[in-house]
Structure 1
Amino acid sequence: MTTLADRWNIQPDHIWLRGRQPEHVVQEGEDGIVNVYGYPEASAVLTDPEAFSNDVDRLMEGDQALTGKEDRDGSLLGVDPPEHTRMRKLVGHAFTPSMITRLAPRIAELTRNLLDEAGGSDRLDLVESLTYPLPVIVICEILGVPTDDLSLFREWVDRMARSASGLFDGDEDVDIAAAQRRVPEMLDYLAELVADRRKSPRADLIGDLIHADVDGERVTDRQIVTFLKDLIVVGHATTSAVLGNAVLCLDAHPEVAARVRADRSLVPGVFEETLRYLAPGAMAARATTRDVEIGGLAVGPDRLVMNWLGACNRDPRQFDRPHEFDPARDPNPHLAFSRGIHFCLGAPLARIEGRIVLNELLDRYRELRVDPGEPPVFLPLPFVIGVTDLVVRTA
């Protein structure tokens, strides 16, 4: 059986994408890293923030650190309670599912506009025309960023992606922190935007964050800027990747695509099953804080633990027929949005965008077939599965 991963040579080292599981659900590598491939084992790690810290940078040296301490003030990434708890309450007060739900009509309008701009040919560059620009536009509209400035954000995100890619292409001149620090103008822009909102309040996410109050505590301008930067970079990358992955999954399973066209109630299931079957975030890292046991393996403190979510999402102990793509799978408790206190804050937004985009594509085009003459190009990052180029034939 030729799998989707074999067909397009997706991450050759990720054997679970090819219908196989690692020999052991928990393995200790020669480098001392503990790799977790099992669903219950990873779930236990992700839901125990006391034993497994989200601050993995403290185990890194020099340029291998993802961020500096100053870069994490206001971030939900790489931090632990109580800082994480406090910040999550503050930003969660403004970034609510009900607020995201109100965006649905506008997301549908933006999707239609982008597809109109792509033209009526039988060839669609899906990433260039839709899955790349849409998440950026949506996030920027949530923030109240002027439309004329949207191109700036795309340039900044591109620059960060190129910096990060250089790390794994053997570019010794690129350090991990540079992936974000090479865009100081974005941080300056966001700081000016926050300052402007303090002077002239508006009904947008920045205004909500400025006035967010939990137990009498407010968010500082610096914290708001850090949170917005993370939202733009991580929120955009994840949503863009999963939208492209969903189209790839449907292309690889034409019988499923036919079922979904005939029964649109399956569309939300397509999005969830894509998150399980071809999760954009392949790994979630943690650092042990004390002696622990993971799947029977004794692990000491200050050890890096890599939870391979793509493998966990295909663990036969949790999922029946794990290597089948089934949009009717219910329940589908995948780990693509993580688990526990670090569950993805932007999950409701990603889910609404996914449902809307898939329905709009199915409404507009009779076919969505990957052009064999123009195979998809995948991100060169080992921890992210998503396309940078995806051309589909629509008729």
Structure 2
Amino acid sequence: MTSTAGMADTADAWGVHPAQFWLRGRAPEAPVQYDAQAGIWCVYGYEEVQHVLANPATYTSDTRRAIPAELMEGADQFREGNLIQMDGLEHRKLRGLISHAFNPKVVADLEPRIAELTHELLDALPADDRMELVADLAYPLPVIVIAELLGVPAADRDKFKTWGTALLKATQDVSFADRTDAQRQQLQDAMRQVSRLNDYLREHVLDRRRNPRDDLITKLVQSEVDGENLSDNEVVNFSNVLLIAGHITTTMLLGSTILCLDRNPEWFARVRADRSLIPAAIEESLRHFSPFAGTARATTTEVELGGEHIPADSLLVTFLGVANRSPKHFPDPDVFDPTRDPNPHMAFGRGAHYCIGAPLARLEGRVALNILLDRFPDLRGDPDRPPRFLPSLSMTGVKELPLVF
């Protein structure tokens, strides 16, 4: 994927969302642009994205102020305990409750369990020298890990996938400038999917209040902030974020790393021969195919950004996937090069909202990739079945990656 034409053809063949123009070798015309059809300000520039993420007082994560009220009917129930929509002291306090579960020692201690699960999942493959990476490993592995940490049955992972997929589909191309009945229905459908997951988690929260266990939900139920226990809604929404965000990044990280190596055989050969290159390959895949390509913010006041005047209460999307291909910061940005040094990508965000599960995602990717290469030295993409990407503007990764070994 070194030529613009070749990248465009490949992106179309893989089903990449049309608006992910950066995967077609194209660069934005300006660092900040207004998308009138979607009703959002698009922040593409590396410095501009950094600035937005580093200034939550001006660019808040609580985007409700910038979304028409008629499109957000019933959404308040998902606000309590939702780290993604918090800033400042409120965010720091709740994040502090869970940070211990992702500190370096706790994460490192999970390595044997991650290896055990990887082997179990690979042992279950059919005996036909083929696999579909996402369904067979990249999805179930991180879901089982985060489910076990939370204390919910990993066997329910098909339910999580159903709810998560429906949520993604329902919110995919919402326009905040188009306040039609169809748009309202689309968002209501999305909230119904969140409600189903929250109802499921609420059962576990109520059970832990009666029957404490050694798991994260119990720790959240028993935690106090300013001398008060978290409400059921706070624990439920907190757990929702951990369950969904806690697996999807790793799913996309593992799929993207294998895809990048498969499309760059010289690098695949080097990684097979020298496993110390795996962490660098993972970092470059995170830059190349940033899992969360866009993150939303809202302005709390009028601002000047990237040469544009943006009113207060405007909705912005910082496109990490575009920023991570800035020629100024990444020479030959469309080339997969694990030797990049430095590699200051923002795939996991920046600032206070830096992905709390990043160390776990990196560990899961490293362990799984090592085991895959140990067991299947000739692992490669299936020539008869191309990869298929998530049909998403905000997320970048494969939903299907057929492999042969």
TM-score, reference length from structure 1: 0.91
Partner AA of 2:159 in structure 1: E
How many angstroms does 1:95 deviate by? 4.1
Report the 3-state secondary structure (helix = DSSP H, G, I; strand = E; otherwise coil) of the residue aligned with 1:196.
Answer: helix
From the superposition, tell whether residues 366 and 383 of structure 1 become closer, same or farther in structure 2 (CA, over 3 Å). same
How many angstroms does 1:167 deviate by? 4.5
From the superposition, tell whether residues 176 and 350 of structure 1 become closer, same or farther in structure 2 (CA, over 3 Å). farther
Alignment of 1:305-344 (within 5 A): 305-344=316-355
How many angstroms does 1:257 deviate by? 0.7
Q: Are the aligned partners of 1:54 and 1:79 in contact in 2 as well (CA < 8 Å)? A: yes
How many angstroms does 1:119 deviate by? 3.4
Q: Are the aligned partners of 1:63 and 1:175 in contact in 2 as well (CA < 8 Å)? A: no
User: Which residue number corresponds to residue 303 of structure 1?
Assistant: 314
Alignment of 1:380-391 (within 5 A): 380-391=391-402
User: Which residue number corresponds to residue 135 of structure 1?
Assistant: 142
User: Which residue number corresponds to residue 178 of structure 2?
Assistant: none
Partner AA of 1:91 in structure 2: I
Does residue 278 in structure 1 map to residue 289 in structure 2? yes
1:15 to 16, 21, 24: 21
Report the 3-state secondary structure (helix = DSSP H, G, I; strand = E; otherwise coil) of the residue aligned with 1:27.
Answer: strand
2:370 to 340, 352, 359: 359
From the superposition, tell whether residues 28 and 184 of structure 1 become closer, same or farther in structure 2 (CA, over 3 Å). closer
Partner AA of 2:36 in structure 1: E
**182-191 vs 50-59, which deviates more?**
182-191
**240-249 vs 80-89, which deviates more?**
80-89
Q: Are the aligned partners of 1:75 and 1:226 in contact in 2 as well (CA < 8 Å)? A: yes
From the superposition, tell whether residues 209 and 169 of structure 1 become closer, same or farther in structure 2 (CA, over 3 Å). closer
User: Which residue number corresponds to residue 157 of structure 1?
Assistant: 161
Does residue 26 in structure 1 map to residue 29 in structure 2? no
- Give the whole-Å Cα distance in 2 for the aligned partners of 1:217 and 1:319: 47
How many angstroms does 1:64 deviate by? 4.1
- Give the whole-Å Cα distance in 1 for the aligned partners of 2:8 and 2:115: 31
Instruction: Specify every segment of 5 or more residues in structure 2 that has no aligned partner in the other structure, as ranges.
Output: 175-181
Partner AA of 2:199 in structure 1: D
Q: Are the aligned partners of 2:61 and 2:85 in contact in 1 as well (CA < 8 Å)? A: yes
- Give the whole-Å Cα distance in 2 for the aligned partners of 1:162 and 1:243: 22
CA RMSD of aligned residues (A): 2.4
1:6 to 6, 9, 33: 9
How many angstroms does 1:115 deviate by? 0.5
How many angstroms does 1:6 deviate by? 3.4
Partner AA of 1:11 in structure 2: H
Q: Are the aligned partners of 1:187 and 1:229 in contact in 2 as well (CA < 8 Å)? A: yes
User: Which residue number corresponds to residue 99 of structure 1?
Assistant: 106
Q: Are the aligned partners of 1:163 and 1:174 in contact in 2 as well (CA < 8 Å)? A: no
1:113 to 120, 138, 144: 120
- Deviations along 1:42-101, one digit per CA (max 9) or x if unpaired, are 000111001101122322225644971221101111222232222112222444332222
User: Which residue number corresponds to residue 87 of structure 1?
Assistant: 94
- Give the whole-Å Cα distance in 2 for the aligned partners of 1:288 and 1:173: 23
2:200 to 177, 184, 189: 189
- Deviations along 1:25-46, one digit per CA (max 9) or x if unpaired, are 2223334532111111100011
From the superposition, tell whether residues 169 and 46 of structure 1 become closer, same or farther in structure 2 (CA, over 3 Å). closer
**128-137 vs 314-323, which deviates more?**
314-323
From the superposition, tell whether residues 372 and 61 of structure 1 become closer, same or farther in structure 2 (CA, over 3 Å). farther
Matched residues, number: 391
TM-score, reference length from structure 2: 0.89
Instruction: Specify every segment of 5 or more residues in structure 1 that has no aligned partner in the other structure, as ranges.
Output: none
Alignment of 1:31-70 (within 5 A): 31=37, 33-61=40-68, 64-65=71-72, 68-70=75-77
User: Which residue number corresponds to residue 359 of structure 2?
Assistant: 348
Partner AA of 2:77 in structure 1: E
- Deviations along 1:233-264, one digit per CA (max 9) or x if unpaired, are 22222221221111111111111111111111
Partner AA of 2:164 in structure 1: M
How many angstroms does 1:174 deviate by? 4.9
How many angstroms does 1:349 deviate by? 1.3
From the superposition, tell whether residues 307 and 112 of structure 1 become closer, same or farther in structure 2 (CA, over 3 Å). same
How many angstroms does 1:7 deviate by? 1.8
- Give the whole-Å Cα distance in 2 for the aligned partners of 1:373 and 1:257: 20
Report the 3-state secondary structure (helix = DSSP H, G, I; strand = E; otherwise coil) of the residue aligned with 1:118.
Answer: coil
Alignment of 1:164-313 (within 5 A): 164-168=168-172, 174-182=185-193, 184-213=195-224, 216-313=227-324
From the superposition, tell whether residues 30 and 328 of structure 1 become closer, same or farther in structure 2 (CA, over 3 Å). same
From the superposition, tell whether residues 294 and 166 of structure 1 become closer, same or farther in structure 2 (CA, over 3 Å). same
Partner AA of 1:157 in structure 2: K
